[in-house]
Amino acid sequence: MKNFASMMKQAQELQGRMAEMQAEMERAEIEGRSGGGMVAVTLNGKGEIVGVKIDESLLNPDEAEILEDLIVAAHNDAKAKVDNLLKDKMQSLTGGLPLPPGLKLF
């Protein structure tokens, strides 16, 4: 019975650390860039866009398709960084233990 109580305490501690990590991720802002830094997209830790910066030299109506592609590329760069940050935080939180397949935090 003592081992069960210990496991429950550890589970509660892990749950508390998970909640802290989720709150930290929500506050995080990660920037992705493309076009040599001419386009930047900032995401929060949930992968939501919170900002876009575009170099004014790209604001040419004849090159709208290029700008659209650069925005998508910058978003994808930022999203990959968010995913890596979340993965790193989860590994440090769980001590490297694998999580069940399909477990989603957000």
pLDDT score, position 98: 63
pLDDT score, position 77: 94
pLDDT score, position 100: 61
Domain ranges of the chain: 2-93
CATH superfamily of 2-93: Nucleoid-associated protein YbaB-like domain (3.30.1310.10)
Phi, psi of 18 (to 5 degrees): -65, -45
pLDDT score, position 42: 94
pTM: 0.66
Low-confidence residues in the chain, pLDDT < 70: 1, 96-106
